[in-house]
């Protein structure tokens, strides 16, 4: 199998304000077009999203999310804002571990509908402890210092302006609050990179075609990982946004990483 070339920029992330363009996978598109294109991707895959996650990661994403929730350490008094909540794994896990209340937001209404349909699987119903809202992570409809924690799992790389998302997360956090981001990152073991590229650009799009009926969306998802800032660069962006005590933890040799920072 021949892997598709996978350039990895280590410069600043694409699409800073004023450039007029942004990365959509390996393509450059007008900034204003990227949110629509991202919504189209997740509209297409929403009904098969959870199944595809299990298949393409062999279930390892569930282990990553358990580690993520353990680091979050939910408490009954904690108010959580879950950005890019998708089908709700982090929101449901937070409540199952004793978290107080969660607002699950996503720019994609179709993904949130899947999450709402899953509520019964967890013995939950939308209400005071669990709310859903369509919202743009770059411009949140929340007051300053209104939540105790902000989480984002596998959503940040799909945003047009990462720095705006980080600034908004810091803004809505109360003093002493924490931001946690779980995202695909840079593989740290050089010997694994060719195998990972072969899987990402050879197997993953075909799996998307066979299971979700959408090869191009999963090609975009593979490309978006390569365009996302690597670990140290994202940590630097978080510090610039105002977070303190910024740390990251690699998972599975850096295939994914958890970044955390505090608003002090």
The CATH number given to whatever domain includes residue 249 is: 3.40.50.150
Residue 54 has pLDDT above 70, yes or no: yes
CB contact at 8 A, 112 and 132: yes
DSSP string, 89-131: HHHHHHHHTT--EEEEEES-HHHHHHHHHHGGGGT--SSSSEE
Query: What is the model's pTM?
Result: 0.90
Number of separate domains in the chain = 1
**Residue 254 falls inside a structural domain:** yes
Residue 225 has pLDDT above 90, yes or no: yes
Q: What is the pLDDT of residue 85?
A: 98
Taking the C-alpha atoms of residue 171 and residue 169, their distance in angstroms, rounded to an integer, is 5
Q: What is the pLDDT of residue 12?
A: 38
CB contact at 8 A, 186 and 7: no
Cross-strand partners of 118: none
**Residue 186 falls inside a structural domain:** yes
**Residue 235 falls inside a structural domain:** yes
Taking the C-alpha atoms of residue 186 and residue 248, their distance in angstroms, rounded to an integer, is 12
Q: What is the pLDDT of residue 128?
A: 85
First to last CA, the chain: 49
**Residue 11 falls inside a structural domain:** no
Lowest-confidence range among 104-118, 147-161, 203-217, 245-259?
203-217
| Stretch (H or E) spanning 1 | none
**Residue 181 falls inside a structural domain:** yes
**Residue 257 falls inside a structural domain:** yes
Q: What is the pLDDT of residue 19?
A: 60
211 CB contacts (<8 Å, ≥6 apart)? Answer: 48, 51, 52, 55
pLDDT over 70 percentage in the chain = 93
Encode pLDDT of 78-137 as tens digits.
999 999 999 999 999 999 999 999 999 999 999 999 999 999 888 888 888 999 999 999
Q: Which domain holds residue 233?
A: 21-263
Q: What is the pLDDT of residue 8?
A: 35
For residues 153-169, average pLDDT: 97
**Residue 9 falls inside a structural domain:** no
CB contact at 8 A, 155 and 29: no
151 CB contacts (<8 Å, ≥6 apart)? Answer: 68, 72, 80, 81, 82, 83, 90, 94, 179, 180, 181, 182
**Residue 129 falls inside a structural domain:** yes
């Amino acid at each position: 199998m021949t892997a598709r070339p996978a350039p990895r920029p280590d410069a600043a992330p694409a699409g800073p304000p004023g450039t007029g363009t942004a990365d959509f996978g390996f393509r450059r598109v007008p900034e204003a077009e990227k949110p629509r294109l991202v919504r189209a991707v997740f509209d297409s895959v929403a009904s098969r999203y959870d199944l595809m996650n299990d298949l393409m990661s062999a279930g390892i994403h569930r282990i990553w999310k358990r580690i993520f929730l353990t680091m979050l350490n939910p408490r009954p008094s904690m108010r959580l804002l879950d950005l890019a909540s998708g089908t709700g794994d982090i929101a449901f896990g937070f409540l199952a571990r004793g978290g107080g209340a969660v607002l699950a937001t996503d720019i994609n209404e179709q993904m949130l509908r899947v999450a709402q349909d899953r509520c019964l699987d967890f013995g939950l119903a939308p209400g005071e402890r669990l709310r859903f809202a369509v919202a743009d992570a770059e411009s949140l409809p929340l007051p300053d210092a209104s939540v105790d924690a902000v989480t984002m799992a596998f959503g940040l790389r799909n945003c047009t302006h990462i720095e705006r998302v980080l600034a908004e997360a810091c803004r809505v956090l109360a003093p002493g609050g924490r931001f946690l981001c779980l995202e695909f990152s840079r593989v740290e073991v050089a010997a694994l990179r060719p195998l990972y590229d072969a899987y990402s650009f050879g197997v993953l799009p075909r799996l998307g075609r066979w299971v979700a009926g959408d090869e191009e969306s999963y090609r975009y998802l593979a490309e978006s990982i390569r365009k996302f800032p690597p670990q140290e660069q994202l940590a630097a962006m978080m510090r610039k946004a105002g977070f303190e005590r910024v740390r990251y933890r690699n998972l599975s040799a850096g295939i994914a990483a958890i970044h955390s920072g505090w608003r002090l």
